[in-house]
Amino acid sequence: MKQGQNEIPRKWYNNHTFPIIPLLTKTKGDEHNTNHIRFNWLFFRVWSRDAFDFELAVVFDPSHWGVGITALLPYLRVVVAIPTNEMISTWWIKHTGRHK
């Protein structure tokens, strides 16, 4: 099966960044990967993992998560983050990135 074959078409109301309608995606495992479940809704993201880990972090990552909290629980990752727009991301990189 090709990757993305079972993906639903992305519109403005169900995009990856800030889906207005809840999205539940199940990925069946194969010889290289295990089964995974992923849930996205507004600024909540939860998905399954293959590793047993613990972590709690406050994040400000304008290029990826935005502003929020991430947590690793046993076999589960939870992200509650508000995405930031491109203008904030550009400003943050310009003022905090390494300059040559």
Read off the pTM.
Answer: 0.60
> What pLDDT score does 86 carry?
79
| Strands of the sheet with 55-61, listed across from one edge | 23-27, 36-41, 44-48, 76-82, 66-73, 55-61
> What pLDDT score does 32 carry?
83
> What pLDDT score does 1 carry?
43
The single residue listed with the structure tokens 């109301």 is 13
> What pLDDT score does 59 carry?
84
Check if the beta carbon of residue 10 is closer than 8 Å to that of residue 4: no
Per-residue pLDDT of the chain (100 residues; tens, 9 = 90+): 445 555 667 776 777 677 888 888 888 888 887 888 888 888 888 888 888 888 888 988 776 778 889 898 888 888 888 888 878 878 877 887 777 6
